[in-house]
Structure 1
């Protein structure tokens, strides 16, 4: 009769393999119970994982759209905040320059000129604002400020109006400088550093995108700078010694600010519509993501009752293995030879 047997080392190795297999299965089933998802998605879907891959691709795309929408919302809010602040500041200042009578003193006129110049510097600084490292009013050149410094702009205008002796001439010269086309040596060449006629486009949902075309070169914002600069030139010594001409120049600048107020409000309203569009896109993205997540979970879900049954079975097998191992460890040669 042929007797088959294995040695002690082989038996120990076999027990180790069985113990490792059961412990691995136990850990896998425990993770499934904790997460609610199956560990072997291929077996769960019987090898047909294409539908799951498509759903996960759509989830990734939807979440990217949502990140884009969040970035666009921050960008739009930054633009809206600047437009609101500029409109509030310039409308109040314009009204005071037009309606407030100046006494016949040069000191009061100088004080008002300094106030206007500070306002000009503030507006330029606001138009050079950025959100998330992207400048708001530079068009596609969002990595650089929209404008040079307020001081540089006023210096250029002082040189442009040198030798003029009437408020009318100064107003016309300032207007021509701001309205000059590219290549004309005016605002677009000297002061503005962004792009013209091209909008920033951001995709915020599938088939939906928003455009940000508001720049510091737009007429509404350019005329704000024009009105402020016209009045601020008094503080730079333009028409020096001609009090009435200087007073007229400041009032003309204030009137320009008031006349431009409606265009600033219209620009703000357009930005508000963009914000509403982005909010709707964010809501649609959230709903789509929730639906896709549910569909993915339904494909990946593990049956808790089946998992619990397998877990109990593996625990019983592991206990039995430990029991057998404990008995084998107590065997003696004398007992075997009896």
Structure 2
């Protein structure tokens, strides 16, 4: 009769290997039960991870597009809030300048100071930021779009100081604001953002929005033009000529009223961009949920199978411990009996 046996050290090593293997399997199964996902995805898909990789890539893209949409939505809403604040300080003032009779020198001076203060306030609001980015600078979001009100009025004062009629002053101010780039006007000396193609942000698959509104946009310039036309009187322009000063204030108010309608149109355009972002966000969220479900179907572990395997491994581990305990209690005297 042939007897096969192994030494104590070899037996201890074999038991240790078996114990480590069972503990590793137990840890893996415990992790799968806790996470609900298989530990070895490659084994689940039979080594063909192409489909899973494609899903992972689309999930990453969808997440980035959703983040883009959130950022764009925040910026667009900030522009809307900016214009709302600007209109609060200019709409009624423009109507008052265009319609109220000014026949008193002191009242004219008070009104011109009021407009100058409003001009300064509007410039500060239009130089507003969101997330440390200037909203109306185009691509140059790290640069304030507009010079301060004092600098703009200084430039205009140098131009209109020799003029003696309200019509000439208003025309000179208008020409300065409307001058094209390179013409030495507003775009060259007072606007510091970018011109040309607007910034385009992709917010969905095949969907993008343009951040068109800048300090150089027509409605913004028209509003500033109306304010500056009236505010320049605070620099002593047309001094002593009540009738011409009154006419210039009225002209500035009329320009502000017309610009208010243009600003409302610009806000409507921004609102359309907001709707585009919102629709893209809804579609993107639905797509992302679908992709995550598909990924989950591939990676998910069957809870019943995992629980059964876990029970079996626990039994194996208990049996191994029982064998180790039995072997540990063996004595040579008991063997020789």
CA RMSD of aligned residues (A): 1.5
1:148-167 matches, cutoff 5 A:
148-167=147-166
Structure 1: distance between partners of 2:242 and 2:23: 95
State the 1:47 CA deviation: 1.5
- Provide the residue aligned with 1:226 in structure 2: 225
Would the aligned equivalents of 1:134 and 1:143 in 2 still touch at CA under 8 Å?
A: yes
Structure 2: distance between partners of 1:6 and 1:238: 112
Structure 2: distance between partners of 1:157 and 1:63: 49
Runs of at least 5 residues in structure 2 that lack an aligned partner in the other structure: none
- Provide the residue aligned with 2:201 in structure 1: 202
Structure 2 residue 88 is matched with structure 1 residue 84 = no
Deviations 1:77-115 (A, max 9, x none): 111112222233222110111222335242x32222221
- Provide the residue aligned with 2:111 in structure 1: 112
Would the aligned equivalents of 1:139 and 1:198 in 2 still touch at CA under 8 Å?
A: no
- Provide the residue aligned with 1:10 in structure 2: 10
1:112-131 matches, cutoff 5 A:
112-131=111-130
Structure 1: distance between partners of 2:328 and 2:34: 35
Structure 2 residue 192 is matched with structure 1 residue 193 = yes
Would the aligned equivalents of 2:219 and 2:266 in 1 still touch at CA under 8 Å?
A: yes
Runs of at least 5 residues in structure 1 that lack an aligned partner in the other structure: none
Structure 2: distance between partners of 1:250 and 1:332: 114
- Provide the residue aligned with 1:96 in structure 2: 96
State the 1:245 CA deviation: 2.1
1:236-247 matches, cutoff 5 A:
236-247=235-246
State the 1:55 CA deviation: 0.8
Where 2:104 maps in the other structure, the secondary structure is coil
- Provide the residue aligned with 2:286 in structure 1: 287
Would the aligned equivalents of 1:140 and 1:198 in 2 still touch at CA under 8 Å?
A: no
1:300-319 matches, cutoff 5 A:
300-319=299-318
State the 1:241 CA deviation: 2.6
TM-score of the pair, normalised by structure 2: 0.95
State the 1:2 CA deviation: 5.9
TM-score of the pair, normalised by structure 1: 0.95
- Provide the residue aligned with 2:75 in structure 1: 75
- Provide the residue aligned with 2:328 in structure 1: 329
Would the aligned equivalents of 2:230 and 2:248 in 1 still touch at CA under 8 Å?
A: yes
State the 1:161 CA deviation: 1.3
- Provide the residue aligned with 2:33 in structure 1: 33
State the 1:3 CA deviation: 4.7
Would the aligned equivalents of 1:120 and 1:150 in 2 still touch at CA under 8 Å?
A: yes
Would the aligned equivalents of 2:181 and 2:188 in 1 still touch at CA under 8 Å?
A: yes
Where 1:159 maps in the other structure, the secondary structure is helix
Deviations 1:232-282 (A, max 9, x none): 111122222323322221111111101222211111111111111110000
Would the aligned equivalents of 1:139 and 1:195 in 2 still touch at CA under 8 Å?
A: yes
Deviations 1:163-218 (A, max 9, x none): 22221121111111111111111101100011222111000111111111111111
Where 1:214 maps in the other structure, the secondary structure is coil
Would the aligned equivalents of 1:171 and 1:249 in 2 still touch at CA under 8 Å?
A: yes
